[in-house]
Amino acid sequence: MARILLVEDNEMNRDMLSRRLARKGFEVLLAVTGTEGIEMAKTHQPDLILMDMSLPEVDGWEASRLLRADQATRHIPIIALTAHAMSGDREKALQAGCADYDTKPVEFARLVTKIEALLNE
Amino acid sequence: MTPISLDVILISLRLSGLLSLGVAYSAWRRRPAAGSTEFALLMSAAAYWSLTYAAGLNTSGMENKLILNQVTYIAIAYIPVLWLFFSLRYTGTAKLSRKQMLLLLLMPTLTTIIIWTNNTHQFFWSNISLQTEGVITSVANTRETWFWIHTTYSYICLITGAYFLLRSLGAGNSSLYRGQAIALAIGVFAPWIANATYIFELFPIRLLDPTPFGFTLTGLAISWAIYRFRLLDILPAARDAVLASMTDGVIVLDARNRIVEINPSAEKFLRDGDSSLRQLIGADASLVLSQWPHVVERFQDVTHAYATAIPFQVGNRTRYVDVRISPIRDAAGKITGRVLVTSDVTSQKLTADLQKAKETAEASSLAKSAFLASMSHELRTPLNHIIGYSELLQEEVEANRHQDLYRDDLQKIHHSGKHLLDIITQILELARLEARMVALNKETFPLSDLVEDVITQIQPLLEKNNSRLGLKLPDDELQIHADLAKTRQIIYNVLHNAVRFTEQGRVDVEVGAQGGMAFIRVQDSGPGIPPERLATIFEAFANPESASRKKTEGLGLGLATAQQFARLMNGEIGVVSKVGRGSTFTIQLPLGVKPKE
């Protein structure tokens, strides 16, 4: 069973997304801040990370860069989630080392397609 | 009467000569001022006259006296022409060409030659002898034809010069210049009177020609006028021209607040304000300005002031005027009048006011858009939760496969939430556009592929409305350099709009290029757009779905957004429509590939 780390500071988004992912059969790990996300990625070695970009403390952009720079976590694909699609966000996310990118509100079916595509690689 | 000694006469003449030289020197130093050079030459000649004349009187013997007399006459011959030159130049009446000057100098030159050769022809003088009367021994002679020609010519020059000088004074027409006028009048007439007394033998000292004294007096009077009134600082004609052509108003008031000088600009302003005004020169300023009591009250006795944007009611509009007041002082420093300089700053003030209003409006518009942008974002978050949780519940209901009733209701909540989210997303997009928070992400891509892609996207709606779509693509591939996502949005919004309103009809899409622009033409056989709506079709919030177009949900922001995007990329969307016939939207975007860097 694939293990997904969801890094998201908004409680309802976190709850909603994690429950729906769980229903789809994923094992979901939760982190609230960027720092916590990095920590959990190292210790729990998830198969994939869903990273909100506007996080307190270390934001999603920085956290992704750090994860990519670390030998222990660089192999884990990251899907960046941004609150609104600013032009250039996609490029920014790819530059930060994210494998893919999606916008919130999450269109669940589309997100699942992206997750599965990455997991099957 | 005690006869005056020769020494006194000689000293007087030499002193007169030195004074003239001094005047000539000081005028020479002011050469850049118009007329100064001519004046210096004139006064040099006058000095020469005095000094050589004194030498002639001081010498004895027929031969010496005759030669010195001829030497002196050189100055006498040239002075009238130099006087004329000075007058013409100083008053700005005429700027003589070199040729004209040489022509005028021909007569004195001829006179000089004739005098120096008089012995052979006696055209100028005859019966030359020495005569003595009192202390003076001088050359006596009978005046012949050329003497009178010379004298006539000299007087014509002197009178012409005097005329222009006096006329330039008259043009000033102001009591302020009285001292100057007197000085100049003395300057003009002194040599005449002196010369006339000599020619008609009226001078008390017989045989003495007082004309050199007259010219010295001229020099002193005119230079006094120069130093006192700085006459040579600026050409009077030029000064008048400056005053007349100034767009600023100039009013000179005397100590009793009467107008002694006013320029056309000020006069026009006053007459615009009160057409019943009569003669302004000599009028009491407070009466002339009585229609603006606030001005009279404020500046009644003010001698130094600078006030900006004073409102003047002129006719039915307000004009704003800067007023500068400076005192005029006499030699003793006593204030004898005031100069008011006014400049109309109405247009500057109005422009400034407008600019301010514009900036305020723009700032508030930006603030509004920024507020809307953040507000929309705030609205979206809870809405996402509503949608997300309703989706979650639907999934759970479906998993349990029991409570079908809940599922329907949940679907309704979900549907409404999604719709509301669409609206907010559109508003957010527009608000961000208006708040200038949108950046372009340009790339070069083939247009036809994109159009085909969007058509695929729109297919379900097309089928739902039972309409058909025709597509015409260009033979050559069209490349455009633009923001791909925004171009897609533009095409989608326009096409979606056309398909949405076309039931059981046709939508034709044509892609092509014309005049450096790529175009996508979307022609539908829909109901068409009434003219009153067509005018505002691209304006946000201006097109609420009307009752007659009960059609599907929509906020009418799609076209506004598309137009904003198109313009952001230097493109434009145009529309032609006829009710009952359908509409044609044409999207134009600049052709071309990425510019070389």
DSSP states of B527-596: ----HHHHTTTTSTTS-PPPGGG--S---S-HHHHHHHHHHHTT-EEEEEEETTTEEEEEEEEEB--PPP
Whether the Cβ atoms of residue B20 and residue B216 lie closer than 8 Å to each other: yes
Q: Of how many residues is chain A composed?
A: 121
Determine whether the interchain pair B387/A105 forms a contact, defined as Cβ–Cβ distance below 8 Å. Answer: yes
pLDDT score of B410 more than 50:
yes
pLDDT score of B268 more than 90:
no
- Closest residue in B to A109 (Cα) is B391
- Structure confidence at residue B597 (pLDDT): 42
β-bridge pairing B125-133 and A100-103: unpaired
User: Which pLDDT tens digit goes with each residue over B452-467?
Assistant: 989 988 898 899 999 9
Residue B271: how many other CB atoms lie within 10 Å: 14
| Of A6 and B261, more confident | A6
Considering only CB atoms, which residues of chain A are within 8 Å of chain B? Answer: 10, 12-13, 16-17, 19-20, 23, 83-84, 86-88, 91, 104-106, 108
Whether the Cβ atoms of residue B424 and residue B373 lie closer than 8 Å to each other: no
Minimal C-alpha gap between A42 and chain B (Å): 30
Whether the Cβ atoms of residue B39 and residue B21 lie closer than 8 Å to each other: no
pLDDT score of B347 more than 80:
yes
How many whole angstroms separate alpha carbon B523 and alpha carbon B421?
30
The rounded mean pLDDT for chain B is 82
Identify from A87, A92, A102, A103 which residue to disrupt to test chain B contact, counting B C-beta atoms within 10 A and taking the largest count. A87
Closest Cβ opposite residue B438 in set A13, A20, A87? A87
Confidence label for B491 from pLDDT (cuts 50, 70 and 90)? very high
Q: Which residues contact B295 (CB under 8 A, 6 or more apart)?
A: B289, B310, B312, B323
Q: Which residues contact B161 (CB under 8 A, 6 or more apart)?
A: B80, B83, B84, B86, B87, B88, B188
Q: Whole-prediction pTM value?
A: 0.40
- Structure confidence at residue B596 (pLDDT): 47
How many whole angstroms separate alpha carbon B188 and alpha carbon B218?
7
Minimal C-alpha gap between B419 and chain A (Å): 13
pLDDT above 90: percentage of residues in chain B:
18
Determine whether the interchain pair A23/B421 forms a contact, defined as Cβ–Cβ distance below 8 Å. Answer: no
| Of B359 and B227, more confident | B359
How many whole angstroms separate alpha carbon A72 and alpha carbon B450?
41
Note whether B229 contacts A: Cβ–Cβ < 8 A: no
β-bridge pairing B506-514 and B468-472: parallel
- Structure confidence at residue B574 (pLDDT): 93
What average pLDDT does this structure show over B540-546?
55
Query: Quick one: which H or E segment has residue B470?
Result: strand B468-472
Residue B228: how many other CB atoms lie within 10 Å: 12
- Closest residue in A to B399 (Cα) is A23
Minimal C-alpha gap between A72 and chain B (Å): 34
As for the ipTM of the complex, it is 0.71
**Quick one: which of B390, B447, B439 has its CA closest to B413?**
B390
Confidence label for B552 from pLDDT (cuts 50, 70 and 90)? very low
Residue located via tokens 């003088």? B125
